Amino acid sequence: MPPTQDPLCSGFGKADLQVHTAFGDGMEDAQTLFDFVEKQNTLNVVAVTDHDDVAGSLLAREIHTKNSYSFDLVTGIEITTRSGHLLALWVDEPIPSFRSLSDTIRMIHEKGGLAIIPHPFSHLTRSVGRGALQKVMNGSDESTFPDGIETASPSSMHPLAGLHAGKKVVGYNSRHWKLAETGGSDAHFVEAVGSAYTSFPGKNSESLRQAIMDRTTQGHLDPQFSIGSIGLSRLVRQQVRGLSVTPKKIIEKWRQK
pLDDT recorded at residue 161: 41
| CA-wise closest residue to 16 among 194, 212, 166 | 194
For 12-256, CATH number out of 3.40.50.12160, 2.70.70.10, 3.20.20.140, 3.30.1330.60 equals 3.20.20.140
Instruction: Give the integer Cα–Cα distance in Å for 36 and 186.
Output: 16
Q: Given pLDDT bands bounded at 50, 70 and 90, which one contains residue 170?
A: confident
Instruction: Give the integer Cα–Cα distance in Å for 109 and 205.
Output: 17
pLDDT recorded at residue 92: 96
Segment 131-140, tens digit of pLDDT: 999 999 999 8
Instruction: Give the integer Cα–Cα distance in Å for 212 and 150.
Output: 12
Instruction: Give the integer Cα–Cα distance in Å for 145 and 138.
Output: 9
- What average pLDDT score do residues 55-61 get? 97
Segment 83-126, tens digit of pLDDT: 999 999 999 999 999 999 999 999 999 999 999 999 998 777 78
Q: Judge whether 78 and 49 are in contact, CB under 8 Å.
A: yes
Where exactly are the structural domains of the chain? 12-256
Lowest-confidence region among 119-128, 185-194, 212-221: 119-128
Residue 257 reports pLDDT greater than 60: no
Q: Is 208 exposed, middle or buried (0-12, 13-18, 19+ CB in 10 A)?
A: buried
pLDDT recorded at residue 245: 66
Residue 192 reports pLDDT greater than 60: yes
Query: 143 or 224: which carries more pLDDT confidence?
Result: 143
pLDDT recorded at residue 164: 42
pLDDT recorded at residue 247: 61
Amino acid identity, position 145: F
Strand order in the sheet with 196-201: 180-183, 148-152, 114-117, 84-89, 72-81, 45-48, 12-19, 196-201, 218-221
Segment 9-54, tens digit of pLDDT: 678 999 999 999 999 878 899 999 999 999 999 999 999 999 999 9
